[in-house]
Amino acid sequence: MKIALAQLNYHIGNFEQNVSKIKATINKAKEARVDLVVFAELAVCGYPPRDFLEFNDFIKLCSDAINSIAEECNGIAVIVGSPSINPKLEGKNLFNSAYFIADKKVQVICNKSLLPNYDVFDEYRYFEPATSFNTIDFKGYRIALTICEDLWNVDDDPMYPVSPMNIIIKEQPELIINIAASPFSYNHPENRENVLCKNAIKYKIPVFYLNHVGAQTELLFDGGSMVINNRGGVVDELNYYEEDFRIYEAEDVLLNNTAPTHGFSPIALSDNIKYPRIYQALVMGIRDYFHKLGFRKAIIGSSGGIDSAVVLSLAVAALGRENVRAVLMPSIFSSDGSVDDALILGKNLGIACDFIPINSIYDALVTSLHPFFGDMKFDLTEENIQARTRGTILMALSNKFGFILLNTSNKSELAVGYGTLYGDMCGGLSVIGDVYKTEVIQLANYINRSEEIIPQNILTKPPSAELRHDQKDSDSLPDYEVLDRILFQYIEERKGPKEIIALGFEEELVLRILKMVNINEYKRHQTPPILRISSKAFGTGRRLPIVAKYLS
């Protein structure tokens, strides 16, 4: 039996495009004499559809899509993900389902049992979990058809009281097919492979795994679909960050004796693995955000600092230099070096640079406010006026010319509130809002791996917002090397203050940083969507109250 894995980039709610892609792939598989072609979880509607699932019209369009796909299934079978209606009155109205289609008819519908309800996942909000399981017989093979999380309950500390495969295996399937929507984080490919290999070893049968690829707003899907033999060895792996299509002979996979290449203990990623992954994921995220929304051009405030330099470089890689515009907006506090650095960067990238000094605008605002401020000292208020002036200019250009403003705030700044609402925190998409400052520096080094794109001076000069004379980030924040390590323990590892202090950090510093994180939750609720590259990003996957006392 020939099995094809079709790793495609879907668009949420774009039924015409999604169905067209699926049909074209079915016909491609027919030409190759494939017996069974496999598509991803919720492929017909895209993942995650979220509250679109509450619209009857949306569900009808899903059903129509399945019927349309079925018309292509003559001489070939298809597995494809879509919502299905729960026929019982009790429970949620929908299942997250895998449809097995052959002879132009839906032959079997298998429903997802383990519905993730953590981090970015919210499936139990919409779906009823399956409570019965069965296999599919096709071409002399018995197939265990599962959906994403159904294979993830194999750790020593299981999240769910039941593992569907423990029940399905009693029917003695020869192979597992798992359709998934597994989002990217830079350390997730190894975790994913480990889980799939554990299943193959535990149940002693191969796994055919099919993942999404492409970006859906802040969620990035990296592909990496794979086939694993019954020893837990990876037979083949599809491309990352792009669509792919591979054909396998089931008998060859059953006979494959490849052994696992590594164990199941946590893997420490080297920088030469981590940063290429982050770079490719962010480029894909920008590209899909623009293309799926029908936009072409990006605008970015270029300060001569490392954050805007990295975002500009990523945007050029994603959209092309002709579609990226930089705006330099110096004030009286901007150094000549920063302006020069921004101009050199623009030249290196080959992009258009606009020069709009903000001194006169800033002076006019301060003069207008003088009757109210009187002789009060220059403070954060005047600093924020500069940032908001720049935000106003960028949004005006965005509105007038149809540009999308890319935000340049990094994760360290967002964590501690080192940014101005409606100023440098505005934009349509936050590109590096899940990248700590120390990681931004490493990402810049990766961008410069072949040639100097980001000027060396940008990499080496002390970070500064340049909103007052001789300002440095270190005036307000601890050294980023220390700050980021503490933030990582609190945000990603969810450690409390005593646990972090026990790691050797100064108590006063830990308490100060954690307080800064928590009192600035209100700012993060007003940021643009943040491209998710870590296991715990700000946004839908981290839900904390604004009005709370804990550690604040």
Q: Is 41 a catalytic residue?
A: yes
What residues have CB less than 8 Å from 246, skipping those under 6 apart?
Answer: 4, 5, 225, 236, 238
Whether the CB-CB separation of 233 and 259 falls below 8 Å is answered with yes
Q: Is 204 a catalytic residue?
A: no
Q: Is 148 a catalytic residue?
A: yes
Secondary structure of 361-417 as H, E, C letters: HHHHHHHHHHHHHCCCCCCHHHHHHHHHHHHHHHHHHHHHHCCEEEECCCHHHHHHC
The catalytic residue among 2, 21, 112, 411 is 112
Between CA 340 and CA 304 the distance in angstroms is: 7
Whether the CB-CB separation of 41 and 4 falls below 8 Å is answered with no
The catalytic residue among 45, 148, 197, 426 is 148
- The Cα-based distances of 449 to 180, 275, 437 in angstroms read 34, 11, 19
Long-range contacts of 449-458 (CB under 8 A, 24+ apart): 452/348, 453/313, 453/345, 453/348, 453/349, 454/306, 454/309, 454/310, 454/313, 454/345, 454/348, 455/309, 455/341, 455/344, 455/345, 455/348, 457/337, 457/341, 458/304, 458/305, 458/306, 458/309, 458/341, 458/345
SS3 for 535? coil
CA angle 358, 363, 365 (to 5 degrees): 95
Secondary structure of 25-83 as H, E, C letters: HHHHHHHCCCCEEECCCCCCCCCCCHHHHHCHHHHHHHHHHHHHHHCCCCCCEEEEEEE
What sign does the CA torsion over 342, 347, 352, 355 have?
A: positive
- Using alpha carbons, select from 147, 154, 229, 157 the residue that is nearest to residue 181: 147
Catalytic residues: 41, 112, 148
